[in-house]
Structure 1
Amino acid sequence: MKSILCLCVLLAGLHAVVLSHHVPEHHNDQDGQTDNNPPQQLSPVGGKVITEHMTFMKVVASNADFAFRFYKQIKSEAADKNIFFSPLSISTAFAMLTLGAKSATLSQILQGLSFNLTEIEEREIHEGFHQLLQMLNHPDSEIQLNMGNALFIDDQLKLLEKFLEDVKTLYESETFPTNFQNSAEAEKQINDYIENKTHGKIANLVKDLDPLAVMILINYIFFKAHWENPFNSLFTKEDDFFVDAETSVKVNMMSSNKQYNTHHDEELSCWVVEIPYKGNAAAIFILPDEGKMEQVEDALLKKTVTKWTKSLQQREIVLYIPAFSVSGTYDVKELFEKMGVVDVFTDKADLSGMTGHSSLKVSKALHKAVVDVHENGTEAAAVTIVEITYTSLPFPQPLTIKFNRPFLMIIVDKNTQSILFMGKIVNPTKK
């Protein structure tokens, strides 16, 4: 498929805690206090000051912090492997989960998602995600972007009306009655839903449901966009991609000689190239100099990416970038536990906001994301919002930037300045 295609699904399976092993404690909700008149904020990836929709912008800022923290957690265990995930999918799913969480379970999840309740109230978090969902699912964009949530609920599980109302109102979640006593039937129902929402790209993800499972929580994102300036397939040639100093693989190397927003970070030793899509989204590709990948990864922070995007200059370059298709599948439970989110996965879990009593815990949390990058887009005309700070002087010879070694990729929705996907391409030939 000659387009950009990214998909992800996150599953959180909940099952009953064995009550004889756990006497639930009752805690009061802990609401954070914030200033009623917060200052203006810089968007986390665009550098543009936005004064309206402050609630959603505060959520976007925390989501960016979470994206880079989660990336570094994955990287610590997969330093030499491709990485690709949607931080927004994970944060949305677990934010929705906090509607039913209380006490330490609630505070651990919010801290894990990089929310500070002294800076943003719990109410604002959910309102911010609601605004994000509405903006990302706006139908007038030339980009196909669909994001949604779903709960598959066991016929015997009685959830509180407030929880059900909140997930529907704030997260626009669908709810489906499910017979978890028939695990094969339940798996088919859930997998059919996922396959339909991801246009057939993710199938049979749910397997071996826990015998005690009573609910599955899902978030999905489907993103499909076309380059504003497609690569000409006639110029795509087989070339070497250097996985490391000793290993190279053959790739289909796309090339283009056009105006791009670029920046070279002298301090971190890397090139940054922004490639716009038709519509309000862009891909930011980061190419570390030889031997500098770890240095760049260590510096991956919201302020770093903001600095890069504010420093972009439009200039003519000869760009080489490989076509690739990679995916990432992650055990979010394992990663979250290492980030301090522990109780929700144990018999200490307090999800009493769902049922009125502490009898549930999260047994499994999975995340899968897929990206396909190819040459061509559609022929439809469009306007792309691209922030340009400076215009460079003409170059006698176009600069050449060649992505023929491991690089980073961030896909940004420019309407909300949200990081939709991010990853590292170490070997473009490894799916």
Structure 2
Amino acid sequence: MKLKTLIPTLILLTFISCEKDENSINPSVEISPVEIEVSYNANIFGLKLFRELSKLSPDSNVIISPFSVSTALAMAWNGASGETEKAMRDVLELGNFSEEEVNNAYKNLLDYFLNLDSETILRFANSVWKHIPIPVLDSFIDICRKYFYAEFRELDFGAPGAVDSINNWIAEKTEDKITNALDYIPKETVMYIINALYFKGSWKYQFDKSYTSPGYFYDINDNRIPCKMMVQTNDFTVNRTEKFTAVKLPYSDEKFVMVIILPENNTPINQFVSNLTPDKWNEIIGNSEELKATLKMPRMKIKYKNLLNKALTNLGMGIAFTGMADFSKIFGDTGYWINRVIHNTFLEVNEEGTEAAAATIVEFLKSGGGGENIPFIIIDRPFVFAIYEEETEAILFIGKVTTIPEET
């Protein structure tokens, strides 16, 4: 029997702990109904972002940390006004909550997860990086520090070592699992808002390495990929239906869980993901039973990097990426907009457990024209190119690009 494509879906809201500067964190905080609803709404955002990214990359792996993305964008949302604030509120599923309620909810959720499982390593870090000459409102920095425990740093973005400074910070916070997250700093960049997550958990019931053996994984195009298959027989929490099988793998003292969802053979993976709504998610994780079973799954190490602009634009946040954006609650004026939202993830699953990391970078630019509606062009799908001489229009090269080599 072929092992078809898996969705290694981690309960990403639990990939959280906090690293802080002078701010204190209360690990004994109780979760209120507001925090529960904000957490649930963050899942709604994460699932719709996952569906959109899957639709945009039907043949590729998509591995995201919804909480990392929502945290970074929530900090940016605090600086938005007018139509920009409304668009971000709608996309992030913030409902009718006030800024104070949203910010307190994030703070309390971070506090809550801090010491939830003493046997699992979790680290969470936020930072705001400002280009030295650019004025930024103290009120915005105060919010990021108070509610998101963000570090604030000033940096000359034009300096030779600026990219390395930011990448080194991300690498440090993710135990070197996310490296070179930022490729370059565009001219006119004025700010970076960054979230970094690191998770390392040991299975409650580990796989015996002596049972791991060579096997094959069959990808979305039915290509046979050699791999190492782990196996164990145990009492698992399983949800089996006509459409899918879901099995839960708890970590250490069961505060954190990985759920692996395997669609039935007649259900294409992209079709399944497109229907992964909050109701379907609740059905998957809620309707389970204890079942003795033998689980066979691949050992794997996967890296993922993507620009989220197109997906976020498709979801309704497009104004934030144009000169019409209003982030005057950060800069005290309009004419600043989000240039890129860069997302990196790392996932390793082996006999002992899981190690995972994520980083989300929100990059702000100052519009040269001060508020004009500048179109955003992303070359992220097949295109035609030509190289020609301008005066004679003689074509030297012409081509069609339908795919590009993977670069990691």
How far residue 308 of structure 1 moved from its aligned partner, in angstroms, is 2.4
Q: How many residues align?
A: 331
The answer for the alignment partner of 2:266 in structure 1 is 291
Q: Pick from 99, 104, 125 the counterpart of residue 78 of structure 2.
A: 99
Q: Does 1:277 align with 2:254?
A: no
Question: After superposition, what is the alpha-carbon deviation per residue over 1:154-212, rounded to whole angstroms, capped at 9, x for unaligned?
Answer: 22122112111111001110001111232x22112111111111111222222221111
> Unaligned 5+ residue runs, structure 2?
1-9, 16-29, 358-406
Q: Pick from 53, 56, 80 the counterpart of residue 77 of structure 1.
A: 56
Q: CA RMSD in A?
A: 2.4
Question: After superposition, what is the alpha-carbon deviation per residue over 1:64-111, rounded to whole angstroms, capped at 9, x for unaligned?
Answer: 111110111111121121111101100000001011100011111111
One-letter code of the match for 1:74? Answer: L
Q: Matches of 2:41 and 2:304 in 1, distance apart?
A: 23
Q: Matches of 1:247 and 1:165 in 2, distance apart?
A: 52
Q: Pick from 139, 149, 161 the counterpart of residue 172 of structure 1.
A: 149
One-letter code of the match for 2:177? Answer: K
The answer for the alignment partner of 2:368 in structure 1 is none
One-letter code of the match for 1:275? Answer: L
One-letter code of the match for 1:108? Answer: A
Q: Matches of 1:320 and 1:113 in 2, distance apart?
A: 37
Partner-residue secondary structure (3-state), 1:100: coil
The answer for the alignment partner of 2:382 in structure 1 is none
The answer for the alignment partner of 2:140 in structure 1 is 163
Q: Matches of 2:116 and 2:133 in 1, distance apart?
A: 37
The answer for the alignment partner of 1:194 in structure 2 is 170
Partner-residue secondary structure (3-state), 1:200: coil
How far residue 346 of structure 1 moved from its aligned partner, in angstroms, is 1.0
One-letter code of the match for 2:180? Answer: N
Q: Indicate the percent of aligned positions where both proteins have the same amino acid.
A: 22
Q: Does 1:366 align with 2:342?
A: yes
Partner-residue secondary structure (3-state), 2:317: coil
The answer for the alignment partner of 1:62 in structure 2 is 41
Q: Does 1:324 align with 2:303?
A: no
CA contact (8 A) 1:55 1:127 kept: no
Q: Matches of 2:220 and 2:273 in 1, distance apart?
A: 16
Q: Matches of 2:173 and 2:182 in 1, distance apart?
A: 14
How far residue 140 of structure 1 moved from its aligned partner, in angstroms, is 5.7
One-letter code of the match for 2:246? Answer: V
CA contact (8 A) 2:124 2:197 kept: yes
Q: Matches of 2:141 and 2:316 in 1, distance apart?
A: 28
The answer for the alignment partner of 2:362 in structure 1 is none
Change (3 A) 1:210 1:245: closer
Q: Does 1:129 align with 2:106?
A: yes
How far residue 138 of structure 1 moved from its aligned partner, in angstroms, is 2.8
Q: Matches of 1:264 and 1:356 in 2, distance apart?
A: 54
The answer for the alignment partner of 2:128 in structure 1 is 151
TM-score (norm 2): 0.77
The answer for the alignment partner of 2:225 in structure 1 is 249
Change (3 A) 1:52 1:130: closer
Q: Does 1:112 align with 2:91?
A: yes
Q: Matches of 2:120 and 2:270 in 1, distance apart?
A: 33
One-letter code of the match for 1:273? Answer: V
Partner-residue secondary structure (3-state), 1:339: helix
Change (3 A) 1:360 1:255: same
Mapping of 1:336-351 within 5 angstroms?
A: 336-351=312-327
Question: After superposition, what is the alpha-carbon deviation per residue over 1:305-346, rounded to whole angstroms, capped at 9, x for unaligned?
Answer: 222222111111011111111121111122211211111111
| Greater displacement, 290-299 / 93-102 | 290-299
CA contact (8 A) 1:58 1:128 kept: no
Q: Pick from 232, 236, 248 the counterpart of residue 212 of structure 2.
A: 236
TM-score (norm 1): 0.73
